[in-house]
Chain A
Amino acid sequence: MSSPGSLGHSGQDHGGTGSVEPVPAVAFNNITKTFGAVTACDGVDLSVHRGRIHGVLGENGAGKSTLMKMLIGLVLPDSGSIAIDGTTQHIQSPLAAASLGIGMVHQHFSLVDALTVWENVALGEAGKLDPDAVRNRIGDIADQYGLMIDPDAQVGSLSAGLRQRVEIIKCLRRDPNIVIFDEPTSVLTPDESVQLFESLRHVVAAEGRAVVLVSHKLDEVLHATDDITIMRQGKVVDRLEAATADAPTLARGMVGREVSLRSERAALGVLDVSADPSDSAAKPSNPNDSAPVLRIQNATARGIGGVALLDDLSIELRAGEIVGVAGVEGNGQRELGDLLSSLLSLQSGTVSIDGVQVPDGKSGAMARAGIGVIPEDRHDSGIVLDMSLAENLVLVDQSAVARRGFIDGSALRDFAEKMIDEFAIQCSGPDAPMWSLSGGNQQRVVLARELSQQPKVLVAAQPTRGLDVGAIEYMGQRLEAAAEAGVAVLLISSELEEILDLAHRIVVMNSGRIVGEVDRADANLESLGLMMGGANA
């Protein structure tokens, strides 16, 4: 699996101490960074070489993003040094990093919703703007890396997957010769990520660039990278060559224990799913013919210019079933989530819970009716970054910790501590500001809140986004447990294998409508793929 550019390397020495090795593009030397009582990075040594793609793996909160932010100048190390091409550099700001040719695609979006794609891409550029040049450049990058996008679309209207493309294009536009990707593919489809890394591999080899890829998808790391570093609790625990590694080893290295096959599959990507559809097919498709808990009837919503966001969409969910929503990103999945979060008003159609109609777009109505939502972009409506972890756990419903209009601090703290324990949220405590949590730990807070509220219906949109392998496994168990306890689960995911793993019934969305429905037992990747493409079933 070695790239042509990597053939000349011995692969023996990745610590940067070797003498035959060329000077590494990036060398972290004994880097330590603490935040209060938390040691995010603890004496990290890591070298990234030109012409190679370097994967960084680790559990949620292992310190991967922190390490990368030191390279881009957003975080300053407490001790240790960073050398770029052999020269020690004190990178104090992203600007300084940019002048060294370092670019980064961040874990969370930093786009301006009100602007168009090309405006976002050009943002922060000095000098006179030439819109056409920017558009052309976007077109070139799109072609080269398979990241198709309409430069004139407004970013606010894009799905998470498309936004991710914009982030990547924005970074690549400046032709950085050291590129950092912090979980760039968590919302991209496996196909997209394959194409992206194929193209990157060529550029990296041909132009001698260096790439760091942080990811929780083991399969992706195995296929896309040359060298792999595994971090745990701020320390480097293992260095391997991708060519000689396999997924179970990586998973064990990250989590420190064996991880079950199923979560491996979820983390591995589509490739392995085709191998055994059988064991999850054994799951009984829901026999329950009781009245639906959630019923959406003929929902239609139009966006700016009359584009149909939801187009006469109808769907029913029964208690205890997990219904997977498959479909190419941007076909109304986000709007479906928004509708059930009271964030979207319908032009026509109704939503009802247990036969009672719930007003659409009315603040809090859906939540009060018993609909829990794990949104596809947690920063959008899932959490409030400037509030504490504990407060974020009771965003939607404070009744359990409130007494006569006052929030009972100790009740809140107790509840938070329980959740931190149960969901293994890594943090400095219940009062930690939400923004100080790592991406995966933020996601756990959302899960903890939505699951603990005992909803009637749970909408889980890309629920494993940003979670490490261990947490993905746990997430799946919790969703199944919720269903067994009688919750109707709507699983919206761009990862087919996740849906095939968990769902009893699968519906396919296209252009804002449901275009097909299959029982899990009858579903396979091919038929689903056809329906997703638009062929009616």
Chain B
Amino acid sequence: MSGTASGPRVGEWVVLYVVSVLAALVLSAILVQATGGQWRPVVNALLDGSIRNPGRIGETLGTAAPMLLVAIGTIISSKAGLINIGQEGQLFVGAAFATYFGFLIGGPGALNVVLILIFGAIGGALWAGVAAVLKYWRNVPEVLSTLLLVTVGGQLVAYGLSQSWLLLAPLADRGNRNQVSSQLAEGNRLPRLEISGNEIPFAVFLGIGLAIVVSLALSRTVWGFMLRMLGRNPRAAQRSGVAQTKYGATAIMLSGAFAGLAGAAMLAGGGFAFGNYQLVPGFSTNIGWTGLLVALVAREKALVAIPVAFVFAGLRTGSSFVGATGVEGRITDVIQGFLVLALLVPPAVMFLRDRKRARDAATERT
């Protein structure tokens, strides 16, 4: 374990990933075979669904974009030493904000789309802000409050969706369906770019752009410097003028803002993945949780989160094709679980080793 990140470390990472993904694939194959299926068609279906079939790359990218946005936000808060695990709720609340204000303001085209995104971010930030207030006013650990707020947020939005003065669409727009909002007007949706048969949603560019911005902000700005100091040694930060309340609350709210932005982008981006430009119960479809995993695997590096989000999205879009091979839905879920685990194991192994060795050796007790 030489101290630097380059050199043998890269090799170790590659080996770990190859081994654990292979293990997951072998386990999955055994599972498929054992339950009377065929593994080869399953693999084909995974690849077809994620990248091979026409248009699927665009679909995967579109799925990856909100995951990436969530992950970027998570990276901001974890750099400040805070554990926000409520992205699923912040995303949903953000989407609800976006829906409500999008229709409230109405108006034409591009400007309204931007406003929808902004309100999504505000919604997510406010929801995460509740956790910040609880933490800095009442000492409630954010890891608890953010998690609990997922449930509360879900209930609140569900209530909103049942009230026509809030989110529920007028009867004429929703037919006999309950708990749906109106559809965003054609002109209020995020544009898509067509590249060789793939429709690439605008959110993809937004996500990549923001990943670059955040990566720079964290590593190059004084603000990022202070945030990192707070995360790594709060007492040194306190002495140096990084007020925990101010910087910590900002970090939590920013991470909520990114989740809310993801929600708004899903709403205005629509597509196969995220439905019909309207808010429905269960709208967040685990994108918040998955984004959290993306951040975990990317190990606090916003730029690394870009490919990681694509891989996670590919698992999701690919799995949707596996059902067609006759393999039971529950088996597909298990396979997806294996593969997600395979992506999480190497960082966990390295983390444990880093702590035990390099850090133990040199840090906590030189």
Chain A contacts to B: CB under 8 angstroms: 34-36, 65, 69, 74-75, 93-94, 106-110, 341-343, 363-368, 373, 380-387, 391, 395-398, 402, 405-407, 409, 428, 432-433, 435-436, 438-439, 442
Contact = CB atoms under 8 A, between A and B. Distances in A.
A405 B222 contact: yes
Contact of A407 (B4, B220, B356): B220
Contacts of A75: 357, 361
Interface stretch (B30-38, B225-233, B341-349): B225-233
Contact of A398 (B225, B232, B362): B225
A474 to B, nearest CB: 21
A365 B241 CA distance: 7
Contacts of A365: 241
A331 to B, nearest CB: 21
B238, B362, B363, B364: which has the most chain A beta carbons within 10 Å? B362
B236 A402 contact: no
> Which 6 A/B pairs are nearest by Cβ-Cβ distance?
A364-B241, A106-B365, A74-B361, A435-B363, A381-B235, A384-B233
B239 A342 contact: yes
Contacts of B176: none
Given A65-B366, A108-B365, A364-B243, A395 B238 contact: no
Contacts of A108: 363-366
A380 B357 contact: no
Interface of B: 2-4, 7, 220-223, 225, 228-229, 232-233, 235-244, 356-366
Nearest to B226: A398
B222 A398 contact: yes
Contact of B240 (A386, A396, A439): A396
Contacts of B232: 384-387
A402 B220 CA distance: 10
Contact of B239 (A367, A409, A435, A439): A367
Contacts, number: 115
Given A34-B2, A381-B239, 7 more contacts: A364-B240, A366-B239, A384-B229, A386-B233, A428-B4, A435-B366, A438-B366
Contacts of B220: 406-407, 409
Contact of A385 (B4, B222, B223, B363): B363
Nearest to B363: A435
A439 B236 CA distance: 18
B129 to A, nearest CB: 21
Nearest to A391: B225
A373, A384, A396: which has the most chain B beta carbons within 10 Å? A384
7 contacts: A108-B363, A108-B365, A364-B240, A384-B236, A386-B232, A407-B220, A409-B220
A433 B237 CA distance: 18
Given A363-B238, A407-B221, A436-B362, A35 B233 contact: no
A69 B233 contact: no
B277 to A, nearest CB: 38
Given A387-B229, A405-B222, A409-B220, A395 B362 contact: no
A65 B228 CA distance: 28
A367 to B, nearest CB: 6
A363 B233 contact: no
Given A107-B366, A387-B228, A406-B222, A36 B240 contact: no
A407 B222 contact: yes
A432 B240 CA distance: 21
Given A342-B239, A363-B244, A109 B365 contact: yes
